[in-house]
Amino acid sequence: MTWRWLLCSAVVGSLVPAVANACFPGNSLSGTSPDGGTYPGNAAVVFKGSLVSFNDLTVTVDGAEASLVPAPSPMLLVDYSQSIEPAPLPGQQVHIQGNACPTDCEVDLVYTAGEHDTTPPEPVESVVLSLHDYPDYDNEPGTCYPSYRHTYWLDVTFSAEEELRYMHAELYRPSDPTTLLAEDAFLFEETERTVGFPVWEFGEPADICVRVTAFDRANNLSESRETCGLCLHRTDDTFSDLGAPPSPDWTTEDLVADGTCPDRVLPEPGDSATGGDAEGEGCSCRTGTPDSLAWMVLLPLLGLSRRSRGN
């Protein structure tokens, strides 16, 4: 059983009803990136879909046989990402063809390798971590729902928009920064974003740090930004039978004494505002639905031991 399978089960189990044999949407391929044109020769090719397989795909570079291999981490966390070996040189033509799943996932991708990308993206400008506690959600036996105890909400800002930039977020204890509680990576083209990490983990929930690193499809890594401690902390007694709830409507009551954001602007309890910051005060603490959560691999729950890899 691979960690990629476990990641898929966490994602799908969080978004669909707990119905027998309904944990997975089946094999599918919705597209590739690139889909043609010119693309950096050392950048990973991203296959977008579900339970994608590479066993029946062939790759040629200017007609010579090449190979698809798993992209290095953290790029490996993005959809189904594969690197081409040997990496094509600028001007060479890459052709990937075959079937990416048992039925109806035909691939016929042709693109031209561009100059190799060796420039890392700009680092994260600021990171704020908050915690939403709620009654434990324990998955039913025989279903693929993950279990959740609470959600960490992460507000991230960059100084400028940048195309095809990703963010790698790693949660860990300050006493052991190399052992991860959870990690995820996702596209981050805008300057502000709020994402949630629903987790089931043990120990003091406020004793937490997050490390955030920007990277691109050539796996160029920015300098990391790390923060420990909480800005906001909300405890609710409402139980959700659909897994982790969305971000709460934060108020001034949720500000942590001696926390990381004592000057944050929030509505008073009972106000009709939807939470988050006033305009000009940074990124919002609100997202729309549980689908906006960045669903995580639950490392302690699944018994995995994975350390950060920056190769």
Neighbour tally for 275: CB within 10 Å: 18
3-class secondary structure per residue, 10-21: HHHHHHCCCCCC
Residue indicated by tokens 């993950």: 146
- Per DSSP, 232 falls in state B
Residues 6+ apart with CB under 8 A from 197: 151, 152, 153, 154, 169, 171, 182, 184, 293, 294, 296
Element (DSSP H or E) covering residue 61: strand 56-61
- Give the pLDDT of the chain (311 residues) as one tens digit per residue: 333 333 333 333 333 222 333 455 677 899 999 999 999 999 999 999 888 999 999 999 999 999 999 999 999 888 899 999 999 999 999 999 999 987 778 999 999 999 999 999 999 999 999 998 887 766 666 555 566 678 899 999 988 877 778 999 999 999 998 898 888 888 887 889 888 888 776 667 778 999 999 999 999 999 999 999 999 999 888 766 666 678 888 999 999 998 999 888 899 987 754 444 433 333 222 232 233 343 333 333 333 222 223 33
C-alpha dist (Å) from residue 89 to 112, 177, 192, 234? 9, 38, 35, 52
Domains and CATH numbers, the chain: 26-114 (2.60.40.1220), 126-302 (no CATH)
Neighbour-count burial of 41, counting CB atoms closer than 10 A to its CB (0-12 exposed, 13-18 middle, 19+ buried): buried
- Per DSSP, 212 falls in state E
C-alpha dist (Å) from residue 276 to 150, 226, 304? 19, 22, 35
Neighbour tally for 55: CB within 10 Å: 9
- Phi, psi (rounded to 5 degrees) for 234: -120, 135
* pLDDT at res. 186: 82
Outline where the chain has alpha helix (H).
Answer: 3-15, 299-302
